[in-house]
Amino acid sequence: MASLDELRAVRIKKLEALKSRGVNPFPSTVPCDMTLLKAKESFDDISIKASVVSLVGRVMAIRGQGAILFIVLFDGTGEFQCVIKKDVIGVDALSLFADTVDVGDFISTTGTLFITNRGEKSLLATAWVMATKSLLPMPEKWSGLENEEIKLRKRYLDILTNPEVRAMVVRRSAFWRAIREFLLVRGFMEVETPILENTAGGADARPFSTHHNALDLDVFLRISPELWLKRLMVAGFPKVFEIGRIFRNEGMDAEHLQDYTQMEFYWAYADYNDGMKIVEELYKHIAQTTFGTLQFKIKGFNIDLGAPWQIYDFTETIKKMTGTDISVASLEDVVIKLKELHVEYEEKGLNMARAVDTLWKVCRKKIGGPGFLINVPVFLEPLAKRKGDDENLVERFQVILAGSEMGKGFSELNDPLDQAGRFEEQAKLREAGDEEAQMNDTDFVEALEHGMPPTCGFGLSERLFSFLMDKPARECQIFPLMRPKDE
């Protein structure tokens, strides 16, 4: 079998052959009248009128020899067959095609539409031109890219040759479009907020840092747009949302990414009860619009988003599943339980919040959902409003689906004094070694002092898409980050 370098050398010779005959292998434009999908849809009208049309696409297959060739073109909208016959196109044009065109090249063919003896809608070519000469071959049609790392590294080829991956990319686009349309119809305004920040806030996560040369200062890539969007609530916008990139310098696994897309909305004069109602509607809309169903098989769970959504109390759930009452337990008690359950945890900077969260995750994995987790202790959420009937809890809700958290929202904390105090507590945790504790954003506190209306906020990430696909999050990104290839 010829090596890749040998195959490339053969194609370089064909490229030079095109040039020697006065053909530009990379023209700026070529004849094109319609997409291949449009050609199929309009086939009857075009063929009846015997209209001459030009179709373009990548050559996916070539079969036949001698006086007739059958070529399959693909342009991203569909495939279409073109037929090149010596007695129609001419000896020279057929010879040039046979000598210089490979699978993977882009060509334009001009001719009339007809149906072959086998009933295949086709174009009978009277002329062709090279649109782009490819120098490297495509993967074999049937074996394709078999190495998983190569699939992700050369994702463009995986998308080109694997219909399932291509459908995933299309569905991913539909997923975000469904969210955007849902919110726009309900009066939310889409906005964009900064990605570079002086203070990384809005979530418990370790940020990426970089240096801003023009201003000569160190900045962070945002871990959430939350605090910017809340400033817009201070500014007087009643409903806003953003779909944008988030960066978190943390570990990698099937659910977690470091560079991903997230949506957050903020709704003035609404609370977490209103949030749970609209979020349930949103998830059903996403599923039905993107996947055409409300029923999914995810990580071994049978999920029906159309079934009644459950309510899970944080403290009661942990107590029921582990026997630990976190409302009275000490840090030592929680650590003992983690060891008893053989749960790994990070000892550096360990505090009550991290320990309880780790214990909760053990319980969460056993819950299929769909439902909402509520009544979380205030020490776990520095940005949510306290419950009116219990100052130790916050008005936070999280979507629980297939053993994981698929979105979080709350009645936003708009008391600047309370917020300042919680930021100070978070700062102490950071000083004690908790790198995921939130930074003290005094500018945001000042914004709150100007007054923010009662507000419900909510966010979800592309993790939801990967769960509905029942695939690892990395595989559901179009171009996941890869280590540089070893030379």
- Is the same domain home to 275 and 388? yes
User: Which CATH number goes with the domain that contains 249?
Assistant: 3.30.930.10
Q: Output the pLDDT for position 142.
A: 42
- Report whether 187 contacts 161 (CB < 8 A): no
Per-residue pLDDT of the chain (487 residues; tens, 9 = 90+): 788 899 999 999 999 999 999 999 999 999 999 999 999 999 999 999 889 999 999 999 999 988 999 999 999 999 999 999 999 999 999 999 999 999 999 999 999 999 999 999 999 999 999 999 999 998 875 455 667 778 888 899 999 989 999 999 999 999 999 999 999 999 999 999 999 988 877 677 788 999 999 999 999 999 999 999 999 999 999 999 999 999 999 887 888 899 999 999 999 999 999 999 999 999 999 999 999 999 999 999 999 999 999 999 999 999 999 999 999 999 999 999 999 999 988 887 788 988 999 999 999 999 999 999 999 999 998 889 999 899 999 999 999 999 999 999 999 999 999 999 988 888 888 777 777 777 778 899 999 999 999 999 999 999 999 999 999 999 999 998 888 876 5
Please identify, among 95, 117, 132, the residue that sits at the C-terminal boundary of a domain.
132
Q: Is residue 99 part of a domain?
A: yes
- Domain range for 22: 4-132
Q: Output the pLDDT for position 113.
A: 97
- Is the same domain home to 123 and 229? no
- Is the same domain home to 164 and 126? no
- Report whether 441 contacts 199 (CB < 8 A): yes
User: Which CATH number goes with the domain that contains 124?
Assistant: 2.40.50.140
- Is the same domain home to 119 and 163? no
- Is the same domain home to 127 and 201? no
Q: Is residue 431 part of a domain?
A: yes
The pLDDT tens digits for 302-345 are: 999 999 999 999 999 999 999 999 999 999 999 999 999 999 88
- Report whether 373 contacts 314 (CB < 8 A): yes
Q: Is residue 359 part of a domain?
A: no
Q: Output the pLDDT for position 426.
A: 84
SS (HEC) of the chain: CCCHHHHHHHHHHHHHHHHHCCCCCCCCCCCCCCCHHHHHHCHHHHHHCCCCEEEEEEEEEEEEECCEEEEEEECCCCEEEEEEEHHHHCHHHHHHHHHHCCCCCEEEEEEEEEECCCCCEEEEEEEEEEEECCCCCCCCCCCCCCCHHHHHHCHHHHHHHCHHHHHHHHHHHHHHHHHHHHHHHCCCEECCCCCEECCCCCCCCCCCEEEECCCCEEEEECCCCHHHHHHHHHCCCCEEEEEEEEECCCCCCCCCCCEEEEEEEEEECCCHHHHHHHHHHHHHHHHHHHHCCCEEEECCEEEECCCCCEEEEHHHHHHHHHCCCCCCCCHHHHHHHHHHCCCCCCCCCCCHHHHHHHHHHHHHCCCCCCEEEECEEHHHCCCECEECCEEEEECEEEEEECCEEEEEEEEECCCHHHHHHHHHHHHHHHHCCCCCCCCCCHHHHHHHHCCCCCEEEEEEECHHHHHHHCCCHHHHCCCCCCCCCCC
Q: Output the pLDDT for position 134.
A: 97
Total tally of structural domains belonging to the chain:
2
- Is the same domain home to 8 and 126? yes
Q: Which of 2, 121, 16 is nearest to 72 (CA)?
A: 121
- Is the same domain home to 383 and 451? yes
- Is the same domain home to 188 and 43? no
